[in-house]
Amino acid sequence: MKNRKNGDGDDDIRDLKNNSRNREIFNRFKQKKKGKKHRENIEGVTSKYKTITPEEASYFRKFKQFPLSYATIEGLNQAGFSEPTDIQRQSIFLSLIGNDVVGAAKTGSGKTIALLVPVLESLWRNRWTREDGLGALIITPTRELACQIFQVLNQIGKNHDFSAGVLIG
């Protein structure tokens, strides 16, 4: 093994990284290392599920009041969503704590975000990454709705380590 103090090992590491097979392993390691920073945050966020009642959550006026990951809150803010709508206030927390939710509201009322935020949070809590494969499948009745969901997912989920696709047929 070469002496690392005088930098002789740097070429070896560069050679390893340039090998296409190893590049994927290095990238995966880098992602996992990056994820460790927020790992303790998962327990911190999920512990708040026990201290908030659904009734309290229905009065939240900002998304940052919900027990959500930093990546989701930041994605919502970057996409221009800071205040939840009625359907979002009434359903997001219930979905986060594992309840099934059926919601009906007018067009433009925020149902898409009410659906996607709990999906993103579930994948985040389970430490899902793009290397893990399919984590969620959303089936819609129309291509327009599929495109809308895909667009909103890419906006609010861009800070997560997920990939997304839309299939229309």
| pLDDT at 1 (0 to 100) | 47
- Dist. CA 102–CA 82, nearest whole Å: 23
The CB-side HSE value for 74 (13 A sphere, CA atoms) comes to 6
* Residue 48 DSSP class: G
Task: Render pLDDT for 50-98 as a digit per residue (tens, 0 to 9).
Answer: 999 999 999 999 999 999 999 999 999 999 999 999 999 999 999 999 9
Task: Render pLDDT for 14-53 as a digit per residue (tens, 0 to 9).
Answer: 666 666 667 777 666 666 555 555 555 899 999 999 999 9
Task: Render pLDDT for 130-142 as a digit per residue (tens, 0 to 9).
Answer: 899 999 999 999 9
Residues 6+ apart with CB under 8 A from 74: 159
- Domain ranges within the chain, ordered by starting residue: 39-156
This prediction has a pTM of 0.75
39-156: which CATH number, 3.60.150.10, 3.40.50.300, 3.10.350.10, 3.40.718.10?
A: 3.40.50.300
